[in-house]
Amino acid sequence: MKGRDGFKMGYNAQIGVDSKHKFIVFNEIINETNDTGSLDRNVKNQIEETGIRPKQIVADKGYNVINQIKNLEENGIDCYVNQYQEDELMVKIPYFEEANCFICPMNKVFTDDDKTKITDGVKYKLYKANEYPNCKNCKFSYKCRISLKNINNLYLNPEYRFINYFKTKMKTSLAVSILDERKEIVEHVFANLKYLIGRLGFTIKGIKNVQTAFDIFEISYNIKHLCNLNIFDKRILLQQLKIYFDSKKSEIVSHF
């Protein structure tokens, strides 16, 4: 995995935190190098572990997989996901829906080639320009989004309407405020977990063993956090203990 200290062998830890009391509501250790594809699974894990369906989810840009976001929004979950920063200096090649084509600033036209490619589970349509000027001599070539190695191909995500809608939504003042609050909720918990676990990480190996150890850190964190909050309704604590021992009992016997 790639981290702040470069590449290293390790697992990817996923957690979800509730915004009201800052409890960890689910965790999962995965062996995927990034968060792409984890959004749907994380929501499912939260529902299974807590029995509570979230009204709203807030996530970092690594979870920005548009088909998963659309699926969650269509199922009544309000999504706020950080977007990758776009280079405003780069030339944008607009798509013209009525003509079903792309046209670049130098009037190079890309038409539907009836071919597709699949990337990260998304099927993209190919738009091709068979007749085109020499892009290497174009005055926009140094800031064009088209690779000079593939100057006659463009791909369209079929969910382009939802992409435009969601990008606009993430630029609203409400979305900006919600995404800013995420740092105070999730990143704070991750910092505490890293302090408990240590910068060197786990001293055990194997994804099942690491998952069991991380479960213990989760329940320990939640108990400690519960005591700090001084919440008198101890049902939350009992629920956490029941979830842990019911779901991890067999793993504890086999690994400890």
Q: Would you write out the chain's pLDDT as a tens digit for each of its 256 residues? A: 777 777 878 888 899 998 888 889 889 999 888 888 789 999 998 888 888 888 999 999 889 989 899 999 999 999 999 998 877 777 888 999 999 999 988 888 899 988 998 877 778 999 988 665 567 777 877 777 666 666 778 889 989 999 999 999 999 999 999 999 888 888 888 888 877 776 667 778 899 999 998 888 888 888 888 777 765 556 666 776 676 667 655 443 333 3
Count the neighbouring beta carbons within 10 Å of the beta carbon of residue 125. Answer: 17
Helix (H, G, I), strand (E, B) or coil at 171: coil
Q: Which domains does the chain have, with CATH numbers?
A: 2-84+171-255 (3.30.420), 95-158 (no CATH)
The pTM of this model reads 0.77
Angle, CA of 236, 242 and 244, to the nearest 5°: 105
Question: Which among 8, 29, 25, 34 has a CA at the least distance from the CA of 208?
Answer: 29
* pLDDT in the model for residue 250: 45
Q: Would residue 201 be called left, alpha or beta, if left means φ above 0 and alpha means ψ between -120 and 50 degrees? A: left
Instruction: State both tokens at 94.
Output: 């607009």
* pLDDT in the model for residue 187: 83
d(CA 89, CA 204): 47
Dihedral pair phi/psi, residue 243, rounded to 5°: -60, -45
* pLDDT in the model for residue 76: 93
